[in-house]
């Protein structure tokens, strides 16, 4: 069974077009609080975990065949060199082949000792960042209800690395924009909620250590 979790703090409607286009027959779930990422110590998307029939993790979070080749993209043309395209495709193909082998023949599941060694280590700083993120998502949802609040949200949860961190920072900056610009952000939900409302005030208490991107 595939369980595809959309780490989508803006809500289900932002994930809907992708899920509908995929025509998925498996579970496609919406995770506005990034709860799965918190529970499994994930720091990026995509990530995948293999779980056996008994409910045990047999491969902890990993990149699921994705690579960093996008970093080598020619920004002017939006293209990747053929060798990078090949390498990216090869990584994805190898990973998906491994998933199939695991499902059909049990291969590539890790022994418990190896799986344990590969578990992510969640630090107090990461736990703190998770809490900041939770607060930010909640306050943004409240802001869509009624209270005109004034505002400023620091990128509190940016301790996490790479994609997730970038996304969290983006949430923060969007929240900090004046309403007129927010309503032009392309988010229908924001548009509805901010037509009659003003800025959102989130003065989240920040432990400066949580700003350290390392």
Interacting residues with another protein between 66 and 95 (CB under 8 A): none
Looking at residues 156 to 185 of the shown chain, list those that interact with another protein (rule: CB under 8 A): 156, 163, 167, 170
Region of 71-79, 81-89, 128-136, 190-198 interacting with another protein (CB under 8 A): 128-136
**Structure tokens belonging to residue 12:** 């289900």
Indicate which single residue of 69, 135, 162, 199 sits in contact with another protein (rule: CB under 8 A): 135
Which residue in this structure is represented by tokens 């960093």? 68
Q: What are phi and psi of 74, to 5 degrees?
A: -75, 110
Looking at residues 23 to 52 of the shown chain, list those that interact with another protein (rule: CB under 8 A): 27-31, 35-42, 45-52
> Based on CB atoms, which residue is closest to another protein, 77 or 121?
121
> Based on CB atoms, which residue is closest to another protein, 72 or 204?
204
Indicate which single residue of 101, 116, 145, 195 sits in contact with another protein (rule: CB under 8 A): 116
Indicate which single residue of 23, 55, 78, 186 sits in contact with another protein (rule: CB under 8 A): 55
Indicate which single residue of 12, 87, 91, 211 sits in contact with another protein (rule: CB under 8 A): 12
Check residue 137 and report its DSSP letter: H
Check residue 25 and report its DSSP letter: S
Indicate which single residue of 73, 81, 94, 103 sits in contact with another protein (rule: CB under 8 A): 103
Looking at residues 186 to 205 of the shown chain, list those that interact with another protein (rule: CB under 8 A): 201-205
Which residue in this structure is represented by tokens 């491969």? 59
In this structure, what is the dihedral angle of CA atoms 190, 193, 196, 202, given to the nearest 10 degrees?
-80
> Based on CB atoms, which residue is closest to another protein, 58 or 179?
58
Indicate which single residue of 122, 169, 177, 211 sits in contact with another protein (rule: CB under 8 A): 122
| Burial profile 147-164: b = 16 or more Cβ within 10 angstroms, e = fewer | eeeebebbbbbbbbeeeb
Which residue in this structure is represented by tokens 């069974």? 1
Indicate which single residue of 101, 124, 146, 209 sits in contact with another protein (rule: CB under 8 A): 124
Other residues' Cβ atoms within 10 Å of the Cβ of residue 35 = 14
> Based on CB atoms, which residue is closest to another protein, 3 or 81?
3
**Structure tokens belonging to residue 42:** 């994930």
C-alpha 53, offset from chain centre: 26
**Structure tokens belonging to residue 50:** 């293999």
187 in Cβ contact with 14 (< 8 Å) = yes
Number of residues counted as binding another protein (CB under 8 A) = 77
Distance in angstroms between the alpha carbons of the first and the last residue of the chain:
35
The answer to whether 114 contacts another protein (rule: CB under 8 A) is: no
């Amino acid at each position: 069974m595939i369980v595809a979790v959309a780490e989508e703090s803006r809500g289900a409607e932002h994930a809907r077009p992708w899920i509908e286009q995929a025509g998925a027959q498996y579970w496609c779930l919406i995770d506005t609080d990034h709860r799965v990422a918190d529970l499994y110590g994930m720091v990026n998307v995509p990530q995948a975990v293999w779980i056996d029939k008994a409910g045990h993790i047999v491969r902890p979070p990993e990149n699921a065949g994705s690579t960093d080749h996008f970093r080598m993209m020619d920004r002017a043309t939006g293209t990747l060199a053929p060798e990078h395209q090949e390498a990216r495709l090869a990584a994805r193909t190898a990973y998906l082949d491994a998933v199939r082998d695991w499902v059909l023949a049990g291969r590539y599941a890790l022994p418990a000792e190896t799986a344990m060694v590969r578990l992510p280590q969640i630090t107090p700083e990461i736990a703190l960042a998770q809490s900041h993120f939770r607060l930010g998502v909640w306050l943004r949802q409240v802001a869509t209800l009624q209270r005109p609040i004034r505002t400023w949200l620091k990128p509190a949860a940016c301790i996490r690395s790479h994609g997730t961190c970038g996304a969290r920072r983006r949430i923060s900056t969007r929240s900090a924009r004046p309403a007129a610009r927010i309503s032009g952000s392309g988010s229908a939900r924001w548009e509805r909620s901010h037509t009659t409302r003003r800025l959102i005030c989130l003065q989240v208490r920040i432990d400066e250590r949580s700003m350290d991107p390392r």
